[in-house]
Amino acid sequence: MTTEVETAPGAAPPGGGGISVVGVTKRFPGVVANHDVNLTIRPGTVHALIGENGAGKSTLMKILYGVQKPDEGQILVDDKPVSFHSPTDAIKTGIGMVFQHFMLADNLTVLENVVLGAEGRFGIGDRAREEIRRISDDFGFDLDPDQLLEKLGVGQRQRVEILKVLYRGARTIILDEPTAVLVPQEVDALFANLRELRDSGRTILFISHKLDEVLAIADDITVMRRGETVGEADPKTATKHQLAEMMVGAELPSPETEESTVTTTRMLELAGVSLVDDGGRYLLRDIDLAIHRGEVLGVAGVEGNGQAELVETIMGIRKATVGTVSLADQDLTRWPTRRRREAGIGFIPEDRHRHALVLDAPLWENRLLGHQTSPALNRRGFLRRRAAKAETSRIVEAYDVRTPSINTHARALSGGNQQKLIVGREMSGDPILVIAAHPTRGVDVGAQAAIWEHIKNARREGLAVLLISADLDELIGLSDRIQVILRGELVGEFDPSTVTPQQLGSAMTGGRGDRS
Amino acid sequence: MNAGTVVLKVGQAVLAPLIALAFAVVVTSVIVSVAGSSVSEFWEVMLEPPSKRSWVNILNQTSMLFLAGMAAAIAFRMNLFNIGIEGQYLLASYCAAVVAGAALLPGKLNVAAAVVVAMVVGAVWAGIAGVLKVTRGVSEVISTIMLNAIALTLVGWLLNQYGDSAGQGRRTTPIPESSRLDGFSFFGYFAQADGRVWTLSFVAIVVGVVLAVVINRTRFGFDLRATGSNDEAAVASGVGIKKMVVVAMLLSGGVAGLIWLPAFFGDGYYYGTPFQSNLGFTGLAVALLGRNRPIGVAVGALLFAWLSVQANPLQLFADISPSIVQVTQGVVVLAVVAAYEVVRRFGVAQEQRSIRKALQRTGRLEEGAAT
């Protein structure tokens, strides 16, 4: 709001963009989300902000982006105090934000997505196209303004998001966990882009809890814990261990698994499964796969290479075009989802808000979801509400779901606690196979460790587990075998005890990533 | 759930309609005064305790509006917009009138037959939209609107073709004396001159209770609600969503078929001029007002019935057109949608606050235990 919005097309962006946060406190009724937060972001640097989920990073981010106003303290941009009433003010001051969940429309082109809401800058026609090309070339984004968004991969989408904020004239870019959705090679590409941005004089605030990445990219590191900034670290000298201790006050848990419990009894078997879409395109091609009792099979792959379709085919949400799916020697290729669940498949979907919860229903009703037909929870078509509530209480207790009550709406819980509830629910009802798709995505370190523990327990108790994850450390740590999926085909099997994330990464991209 | 949260929840449920009603009162008053009429006279007429005769009318209208509201609510609970209630009860009423008029069965059995016919016809007419949606992906909004037009034309044509002439128009054959229902006088509370509360009004109560149980207590109801709030999660949980869409439309249409039957057997006796149209559209508003919950819908139906019946003497006593209450009804519905959202957000924020508080407490306890 202090600077002029319009910069001439093609003009070099102004430098600067250093931000100081001085003594910011934000209270919500009953809780202090930020307490005396101090942060100095030097202009032209990559500054990492790390901390567990719930450490107050989001609140600070929202304050910097004008979504919320601080109760106390000050924000200085280029040493001038500013006060934001809305994100529009923040954008005018040159602060842009890239959210973890992309805010893009699939059915629009890159150009249309970028100009949406910023039509006033360069119009919506050739001038805008020119500007997008210029930004894309300057930073090596390699984006075609007229490409449809739905054709783009995750890494490209992220670059569109970054382009969006640059297009709006941002000098400071806040990135919220940008690597959560990327494979190692894409992370490298992103970091290359970020370095270019830094070299052009822009300032980047990088929010993450992946310590390796923070050490690789950051010039400065600030650690948050329980709503306070607890310290700063120099990435040149700091170790992962030190950062972890600052973050959680303890060593990070690791997903290491113990001695093998694999048996020779086949639980899940896919034979020659292909899935063809309406346009004749193969989403899955000739998948052969078996998971045994007590075995965790990991599936690695760049997102969008058929993992979701594989899961949906096993769950019966999609029906295999050819091939058979069987569970414990029963052919369930033509069974509907409900019957498959009754046969003992537990399902932890990748997007818990979309596929695993009814957010505006109480926890105990969410306990029923997917188990509506279980005799423990319904009698002759009538729900056994008392049993469902007792069951929910048990899960809340056993899986350490932090909630004031089982009548609380699912929406009110944090991501980690929602996920623990889902894991608890899917482990109930004696499943013989559990499908876990990105089970620890977006949950804090504590919940992550708990979920890993539950998966290990399940394996020990003789369940078969299909684990799909983008976190290669998680895959390597938990799996007994790892299969790599690429363009709907299983292209290789690896032994987690010998494979490195780099090898997996290169198999996931079809060998193109060998250079690392 | 402790007493405090119960009070809070009830407060939230009641607060929004009250805000909306207050807003509607203000807007209506402004319009009345702008139109140059007396605001005080307007409200005097509207709020005057109803006569016994008016009470009978209010209760009768309430029962029909409630049925219409519940028909809409069932579909709404599954995120389906059954705009076609109007056409469904129109066609169902006509068919029921034809069947009852033919008097194939004696006496009261004739009533039962007509009820079954009406429900089946309503269900089938709504089911067409459901089947189109799941097989061809046609939006139920569009198809039900079109089915409304088709039903109207179809009934008009059938009536012209096969109806008995009566005066200027046509009508179905009146039902025999033995199939007419006397109605309730509530142990003589309502005198003969006041009219009667239609016998089949009790059907509204039965429908309300049954649906409340089905939606809240059964697995089917759970699947329905889950599909309505998050269809993808419902699919992942094993709900066969296509079947659910068709079943929900059938149910909604079946209830819609009942709407006019109380009036038919209690007062009208044939399909023609006595037929009261537009109840289907009003039902959508009533369902919105009542948040698709049976009790809410009942209150909404009562409010709408009250407004329209009490407005009748407006012209006489205050020289105001009774149509003004349609403004009130419209504003209530618009305002209530906004008010529910505001109250809902408030509720969510409240809940999050209480969670933080509760977790902070346990956090401290854990810390205390650790040291």
pLDDT at B361: 58
- Smallest CA–CA distance, residue B371 to chain A, in Å, is 14
**Are residues A192 and A119 both part of a single domain?**
yes
**Are residues A232 and A276 both part of a single domain?**
no
Question: In angstroms, rounded to a whole number, what is the distance separating the alpha carbons of residues B162 and B249?
Answer: 30
Q: For B218, which of A381, A405, A409 is closest by C-beta distance?
A: A381
Range of the domain at A96: 19-248
**Are residues A443 and A510 both part of a single domain?**
yes
**Are residues A65 and A154 both part of a single domain?**
yes
Bridge partner list, B165: B170
Model confidence over A408-463: pLDDT tens digits? 888 888 778 889 999 999 998 789 999 999 898 777 777 888 899 899 988 888 89
CATH number at residue A134: 3.40.50.300
B354 Cβ under 8 Å from any chain A Cβ: yes
- Smallest CA–CA distance, residue B77 to chain A, in Å, is 13
Domain parsing of chain B, residue ranges: 1-37+322-371, 49-319
- Pick the last residue of a domain from A187, A216, A248: A248
> Residue A365: its chain B contacts at CB < 8 A?
222
> Residue B240: its chain A contacts at CB < 8 A?
336-338
Which are the contacts of A260, defined by CB distance < 8 A and separation ≥ 6? A294, A480
- Smallest CA–CA distance, residue B326 to chain A, in Å, is 33
Q: Which residue has the tokens 């509360």?
A: B197
Bridge-based pairing state of the strands A46-50 and A220-225: parallel
Contact A443, A261 (CB under 8 A): no
- Smallest CA–CA distance, residue A396 to chain B, in Å, is 13
Inter-chain CB proximity B229 and A359 less than 8 Å:
yes
Whether residue A10 is contained in a domain is answered as no
Contact A260, A457 (CB under 8 A): no
- Smallest CA–CA distance, residue B135 to chain A, in Å, is 15
CA A412, distance to chain mean position in Å, is 19
Whether residue A384 is contained in a domain is answered as yes
Question: In angstroms, rounded to a whole number, what is the distance separating the alpha carbons of residues A277 and B358?
Answer: 49
- Smallest CA–CA distance, residue A492 to chain B, in Å, is 29
Cα–Cα nearest to A48, from A214, A162, A250: A214
Bridge partner list, A276: A282
pLDDT tens across the length of chain A (516 residues): 444 444 434 334 455 678 888 888 887 644 567 888 888 889 889 999 987 666 778 788 888 888 888 888 888 888 888 888 888 888 888 898 888 778 888 889 999 999 988 888 888 888 889 999 988 888 888 888 888 888 887 788 888 988 988 898 888 999 988 887 777 778 888 898 899 889 988 899 988 877 778 888 899 999 887 778 888 888 888 877 777 777 765 544 566 656 777 788 889 999 999 999 887 788 999 999 999 999 999 998 877 788 999 999 999 999 999 999 999 889 999 999 999 999 999 999 988 888 999 988 999 999 999 998 888 888 888 999 999 999 999 999 998 888 888 888 888 887 788 899 999 999 987 899 999 998 987 777 778 888 998 999 888 888 999 999 877 888 888 999 999 998 889 998 999 888 887 788 778 777 644 433
Whether residue A351 is contained in a domain is answered as no
Q: Which residue has the tokens 């419990």?
A: A261
Query: Exposure of B191 by Cβ count < 10 A (0-12 exposed, 13-18 middle, 19+ buried)?
Result: exposed
B6 Cβ under 8 Å from any chain A Cβ: no
Inter-chain CB proximity B229 and A409 less than 8 Å:
no
Whether residue A45 is contained in a domain is answered as yes
Whether residue A340 is contained in a domain is answered as yes
**Are residues A405 and A467 both part of a single domain?**
no
Inter-chain CB proximity A372 and B359 less than 8 Å:
no
**Are residues A145 and A227 both part of a single domain?**
yes
> Residue A371: its chain B contacts at CB < 8 A?
237
CA angle centred on B50, ends B48 and B56, rounded to 5°: 165
Would the CA dihedral through A487, A488, A491, A494 be positive or negative? positive
Q: CATH number of the domain at B49-319, please?
A: 1.10.3470.10
User: What count of other Cβ atoms lies within 10 Å of the Cβ of residue A255?
Assistant: 21
**Are residues A512 and A460 both part of a single domain?**
yes
Mean pLDDT of B174-199: 85
B218 Cβ under 8 Å from any chain A Cβ: yes
Question: In angstroms, rounded to a whole number, what is the distance separating the alpha carbons of residues A516 and A17?
Answer: 33
Cα–Cα nearest to B155, from B253, B275, B63, B251: B275
Mean pLDDT of B147-157: 96
Q: For A30, which of B218, B225, B357 is closest by C-beta distance?
A: B357
Chain A to chain B Cβ contacts (< 8 Å): 106
Whether residue A7 is contained in a domain is answered as no
DSSP B238: T
**Are residues A143 and A89 both part of a single domain?**
yes
Inter-chain CB proximity A361 and B233 less than 8 Å:
no
Report CA-CA distances (Å) from B73 to B65, B67, B69. 12, 10, 6
DSSP B192: G
Whether residue A170 is contained in a domain is answered as yes
User: What count of other Cβ atoms lies within 10 Å of the Cβ of residue A53?
Assistant: 18
Question: Assign residue A278 a region: left if phi > 0, alpha if psi is -120 to 50, beta otherwise?
Answer: alpha
pLDDT at B297: 95
Q: For A358, which of B229, B240, B355 is closest by C-beta distance?
A: B229
Q: For A337, which of B218, B235, B354 is closest by C-beta distance?
A: B235
pLDDT at A100: 77
**Are residues A368 and A378 both part of a single domain?**
yes
Residue A50 identity = I
Over its C-alpha atoms, chain B yields an Rg (Å, rounded) of 23
Q: Does B370 score more than 60 pLDDT?
A: no
Would the CA dihedral through A99, A103, A109, A113 be positive or negative? negative
Number of compact structural domains in chain A: 3
User: What count of other Cβ atoms lies within 10 Å of the Cβ of residue A137?
Assistant: 11
B217 Cβ under 8 Å from any chain A Cβ: yes
**Are residues A194 and A67 both part of a single domain?**
yes
Inter-chain CB proximity A340 and B226 less than 8 Å:
no
Whether residue A259 is contained in a domain is answered as no
**Are residues A326 and A236 both part of a single domain?**
no
Inter-chain CB proximity A357 and B239 less than 8 Å:
no
Question: In angstroms, rounded to a whole number, what is the distance separating the alpha carbons of residues A326 and B200?
Answer: 54
Question: In angstroms, rounded to a whole number, what is the distance separating the alpha carbons of residues A269 and B67?
Answer: 51
Contact A416, A446 (CB under 8 A): yes
Query: Exposure of A379 by Cβ count < 10 A (0-12 exposed, 13-18 middle, 19+ buried)?
Result: exposed
pLDDT at A254: 62
